[in-house]
Each structure stands twice: as structure tokens, then as C-alpha cells.
Homo-oligomer: A and B are copies of this chain.
Amino acid sequence: MVEKTCGATVAVDAMGGDLGPSEVVAAIRLGLGSPDWTKLHKIILTGRQEELLPLLREAGLENHPKVVLEHAPDVISMDEKPKAAFRRKEASLLRVIDLVRTGQADGAVSCGNTGALMFSSTLILKKMSGVERPALPAVIPSRNHHFILLDAGAQPETTSRQLVHNAILGEAYARAIFPIAKPRVGLLTIGTEEGKGTARIAEAHDLLKQLKGEINYIGLIEGFDTFRSVADVVVCDGFTGNILLKTLEACLVTLKDVLKEEITANPIRKIGALLNKGAFASIKRTFSPEHYAGAPLLGLNGLVVKAHGSSNREFIKSAVRIACDALEHDMNAHIGDTIEKANALAKSAPVTPAGVEFSG
């Protein structure tokens, strides 16, 4: 991978996260002192001046040459409806998006209300030419690799063409954040034999095969393949992706609880657990989402990275690095080119409406 200077200006919504603006300021302090952020040109912090100024002062960042404060008096809460939130023009969450629109920032980061961020980003930045709907990727850790699952919930149901778009969006994102030149892209289905699955899957599969010069499409994959390092990008509709992601999280939490309970059930086991402290720490590190704690909404004219509402300073720091990586790799320019080629192919192919059943 060629190292380029990022030189990016990233706008960060200081008010949206569960842990409040002090955690965001702590993340900035951490990031500015870390090698992850050396290529960053400037951070624009949006939020209530009266709250942020004392925090910046306390952190010794008040006059830092890379930190700019942008006053935004309003705050969108976590349970606010996207449409209602969009009317609060003075909110910090809307301000970061608007800074991207006007070109004052190259990318935005927010831990705020997901629905509001996605809705507002789509309205303010608009979809890229040729893209029907934006998609949200999620990075899932496995044994010796990570894979990108998308769509993780932006569009519950998709046509075959939208699945192809998801493949293109995911591939571009993989190249931006993984050290891989040709990420392997797989289309998730319920049986890789001919005639299995749905009509949409079969059509998307045909289109993707024709795009092999553009993306490294490896074909249909099953649930079994996801954790096996078969594909770097796992493509599906947002309904499946969102359920998959949340169920996996629930499963991991349950396993962690069971493991903890069992290895502390008696004094002997407790000693054994102590001897394996390093093993458990290593497993925790392997499966921690920290390194890929944010994800951009893909397919928009501009970069907006959504970080989890409960993000701590490490996660927020990581989300800013993800924004820098995407900008450094000129992710969006590449997406535009490939989408155009895919749409030209799709024009001549039959398209089944989302969800019509397959008689295979």
C-alpha cells in the first residue's frame, strides 16, 4: 500500500455520544498524541461552546493548532425521530454533515442518533450518481482476519442491482481500511448450489460475475464461510445483515458471561483462570471491535462515519482514523466509476423486484 499524506480535516460531533463531550475531548487528546492521527490536518469540534471550551482548556487543547471549535447550540437526543431531528438546524450532528457539504471538512464523525445521522447525511450530501440507496458496513473480527458485512441495516430489502451496489461499496471500503489490494467479495446466500436461494441472489450473482474485472468477486458463499477467511467482503441485504450482526453480538456476550461464570465457579478454577489471564486478554483483543469502531454510510457524496453511541475515547479515536483512511484512499471516487459500469451492465439484464420468489 502506497503511503500518502492524509492531510484531512475531520469534523467531529462532540455532543452525540452516550459518554458526553468530555469523552470526545479525551479522544482528541489521545488521537493527537498517537501515530494513528499524524496525517490528520485538522479537527473541527462541533457542539456547545460553553461546555466545550472549559473541557478543551482542561485538556490543554484550547490553542492547539489542529483543533478548531465550531459552536452548535442544539443537541439531538438518541431517541429523536430522524425527520424531527433534521429540522433542528443548529444541532451539532447536522453541523458536522454540513461542514462536509460546504467543503470546510473532508469527512465527519458522530456517535449520535444513527437514524438521524443516516437520514440527514442522505438529504444533505445526496446519494452518489447511480447509487439507489446508501449502505452501512460493519467490520466483524474472526480468527486471522476481519471481514466487512454489508448492508448492516441501512436498507432492509434490496433489488439484485442494489446487492451489486453493496458489493461495490463494500469492496471500496475494504481497500480503504484493510491492507489488501484486491479484497475478495462474496454474496451471502442459503445454498451455493445452482437453483438455491432467491431470484434476486441469482441475478446479482450473474451481474457480479460480469464485474470480475472491476472487483475480485469470488461467488456465492454460505453462513458457514463467513468466519473462514473465504471473503473479505460479505454482501447481503440490510434485513439479513442487521439481524446477523445483532445476533452475533448477543451470542458473544452470552458466551463471555458463561465462560466467566464457569472459570470462577470454584477456587481451583479461579487459579486456572489466573494462569490463563493472558489467553483471555488475547481473545478479547482479537474479537474487540475497537480497531474498526466506526463505519461510514457508503454511497453518498461525502464521508460521514457513524461511531457507536457508547463509544469511549479509544473508539472515537479509531473512528477518526477510519475517516482518514477512507479519505486517503479516495474511496468515493473509485465507487463512482465502478457503480457506473455496474449500472450499464444491469440495464441489459432482467431485474426481479425485491423479494419476488424463486421457483428453483
Contacts and interface: CB of A to CB of B under 8 A. Distances in A.
Nearest to A223: B246
Contact of A258 (B143, B245, B262, B273): B143
A329 to B, nearest CB: 28
Interface centre among A156, A278, A282 (most CB of B within 10 A): A156
Interface in A215-242: 222-228, 236, 238-240, 242
A223 B251 CA distance: 9
B240 A157 contact: no
A247 B246 contact: no
Interface string A141-180: 0110000000001001100000000000000000000000
Nearest to A241: B190
A263 interface: yes
Given A243-B223, A248-B247, A275-B269, A157 B358 contact: yes
A176 to B, nearest CB: 25
Interface string A182-198: 00000011110000111
A247 B200 CA distance: 21
A230 to B, nearest CB: 10
B278 A269 contact: yes
A252 to B, nearest CB: 8
Contacts of A273: 272, 276
B275 A268 contact: yes
B356 A353 contact: yes
A274 interface: yes
Interface of A: 142-143, 153, 156-157, 188-191, 196-198, 200, 222-228, 236, 238-240, 242-255, 257-259, 262-263, 265, 268-269, 271-276, 278-280, 282-283, 286-287, 353-358
CB-based closest 5 A-B pairs = A355-B355, A223-B246, A272-B275, A262-B279, A223-B247
